[in-house]
Amino acid sequence: MTASDDFLRRVRGRRFATVLADPPWRFQNRTGKVAPEHRRLNRYGTMTLEEICELPVAQACRDTAHLYLWVPNALLPEGIRVLQEWGFTYKSNLVWHKIRKDGGPDGRGVGFYFRNTTELVLFGTRGKNARTLPPARSTVNIIKTQKREHSRKPDEMYGLIEECSPGPYLELFARGTRKGWATWGNQADEYAPTWSTYANHSQAVNVPAE
């Protein structure tokens, strides 16, 4: 079964007003090979840009809908392309600033040109009258939290989306379930990190952050 077939089977004809997606991007170096600094990506399967673009996301969306798309800084052009291939128009972005326990920038991220302490969420819309909900007018476009296990995004993003965009909600490439959301991905039903990671990872219970 292809990823597209599995996706359509999972959504079962439902149509969503808001989609959150964190694709398993495949980083490549100038030779076209997977970049060596991203060997850790073998912790989960990645997808090519074409495979991500081919997912029939538009079929699972209402005529008017919002998309929140996580994209690494190095793959911004690819993120814009995915957004467009899924039937959305880019409108704005949100920034996740990764901080230390003391509130300073967490410089443990990778980066060929600069040490990355941020990740982007591209925000796109489709259809008419697709503005965000009233609470968004006072919501700033930055989230400052500590990072957890590799590729795990901040839970604060869900609350922001639920305040600023209408339901029903769909998360693509989800890690675990969330009340009030439909999910799809190979870790959408059950998830727990199986590698050495930060003490404050998402499955930790009463463990103090680093």
User: Which CATH number belongs to the domain containing residue 113 in this structure?
Assistant: 3.40.50.150
Domain membership flag for residue 197? no
Please tell me the total count of domains within the chain.
1
Q: What is the DSSP letter of 199?
A: T
Contact criterion met (CB below 8 Å) for 164 and 135? yes
192 occurs within a structural domain: no
> Chain centroid to CA 71: how far?
7
189 within a domain of the structure (yes/no): no
**Does residue 193 sit within a domain?**
no
Domain of residue 68 covers 3-184
Per the domain annotation, does 195 fall within a domain?
A: no
Helix (H, G, I), strand (E, B) or coil at 13: coil
Alpha-carbon distances of 77 from 71, 73, 200, rounded to whole Å: 9, 9, 32
**Reduced DSSP (H G I as helix, E B as strand, rest coil) percent helix, strand, coil of the chain, to 5:** 25, 25, 50
The answer to whether residue 200 is domain-embedded is no
pTM greater than the 0.85 cutoff: no
Q: Which two tokens stand for residue 183?
A: 């999910």
**Do 106 and 98 form a contact (C-beta atoms < 8 A)?**
yes
Q: pLDDT tens string for the chain (210 positions)?
A: 899 999 999 999 999 999 999 999 987 654 444 444 444 444 457 899 999 999 999 999 999 999 999 999 999 999 999 999 999 999 999 999 999 989 999 888 677 789 889 999 999 999 999 999 999 999 999 999 998 766 678 999 999 999 999 999 999 999 888 899 999 987 766 544 453 444 544 444 444 443
